[in-house]
Amino acid sequence: MTGAALMQGYLERLGLAAPPPASWQGLKLLVAQHLQNIPFENLDVMAGLPGELTTAATLHKIVVRRRGGFCYELNEAFGALLAHAGFSARRIEARVWSEPKRKYGPPFDHLALVVSLPQGEFLTDVGFGDSNRTPLRFPEDSLTDVSGTYTLEQASAERWLLSRGDRPLYEMTLATQTLEAFNPMYRFHKTSPESGFSKGLICTRATQNGRITLSAERLTITEDLQRRELVGPNQESALKQYFGIVREPSC
């Protein structure tokens, strides 16, 4: 598949016929459509499938295999789509807060994006699962949406913090990073039994007014703050019906 065909296929997965203008409104539209159509999921991790962290591999997974992924895959592919649409985006590294351990993870624990627009620079992240649905502007910003109240603030001379309510989500530095710099932590999260991604199936995506999440034990659908759960769902049926995923035999 050519590069142009890949990008057209990507846009079609987002429900778009063509890229929007490289503007604030265009960025918000792309983020919203991505969160509602491309799931955050760890099916390959749970299946023990090998993978490589390259732009081509992430685009193949999302467009050709019609899958989702986790932060390194989702945000890397989205960065390529943003570039195709005329946006200026760069990778940054972040360290995710662990509530049980009461500390942040190591550097490059998370890959996020910063998009530069005439209005400023915006933290843009389609790879953190249940998180803010609109990019936040540096150096400080806040918003409330259906997922909660989010705050971006400067924590020190070189670090910024994203929080939901009174709980930290991750801290980040703003230096531009190469994709290769994320490879060690990508391999850790992909293969280590100590990685949180190896602890159990997760597949989740936003909806316009809520969220749909599949775990090994249950399917949870939240809509307009109303929550319902189905215990012991048929995973293959749920993946196909709610996420458009037909799992490969090796998954």
Count how many residues are written for the chain: 251
Q: What is the CATH number for 48? A: 3.30.2140.20
Q: Which residue has the higher pLDDT, 24 or 3?
A: 24
Residues 136 and 89 in one domain: yes
Instruction: Please report whether residue 126 resides in a domain.
Output: yes
Residue 250 lies in a domain: no
For residue 153, being part of any structural domain is answered with: yes
Same domain, 234 and 167: no
Residue 249 has pLDDT above 80, yes or no: no
Q: Let me know whether 13 and 82 are in one domain.
A: yes
According to DSSP H, which parts of the chain are helical? 3-13, 24-37, 43-47, 55-59, 71-84, 183-191, 235-243
pLDDT for position 51: 86
Torsion on CA atoms 126, 130, 133, 138, rounded to nearest 10 = -70
230 vs 228: CA distance, rounded Å: 7
Query: Does residue 179 sit in the same domain as residue 205?
Result: no
Spatial distance between the Cα atoms of 89 and 150, rounded to a whole number of angstroms = 21
Residue 92 has pLDDT above 60, yes or no: yes
Q: What is the DSSP letter of 19?
A: P
Max Cα-Cα span within the chain: 49
Domain assignment of residue 116, yes or no: yes
pLDDT above 90 as % of the chain = 86
Q: How many domains does the chain have?
A: 2
Question: For residue 251, is it within any domain?
Answer: no
SS3 159: coil
Whether 249 is covered by a domain: the verdict is no
**Do 29 and 134 belong to one domain?**
yes
DSSP E strands in the chain: the ranges are 40-41, 88-98, 103-104, 110-117, 120-124, 136-137, 141-145, 148-154, 160-164, 167-172, 202-207, 210-215, 218-223, 226-231
* 16 and 32 share one domain: yes
Query: 191 and 203, same structural domain?
Result: no
pLDDT the model gives residue 250: 58
Q: Rounded to two decimals, what is the model's pTM? A: 0.95
Report the DSSP beta bridge partners of residue 40. Answer: 69, 204
Q: What is the pLDDT of residues 144-169, one digit of tens each?
A: 998 899 999 999 999 999 999 999 99
**26 and 133 co-located in one domain:** yes
CA distance 123 to 209: 22
- Phi, psi (deg, nearest 5) at residue 217: -100, -25
β-pairing, 218-223 vs 160-164, is: unpaired
180 lies in the same domain as 208: no
Indicate whether 19 pLDDT > 80.
Answer: yes
- Same domain, yes or no: 119 and 207: no
Q: Are 112 and 67 contained in the same domain?
A: yes
- Asked if the structure places residue 21 within a domain, the reply is yes
| Whether 73 and 101 share a structural domain | yes
The pLDDT score that the predictor gives to residue 61 is 96
Domain contains 248: no
Reply yes or no on whether the pLDDT at 251 is more than 60: no
Domain that holds residue 116: 3-197
- Mean pLDDT estimate for the chain: 95
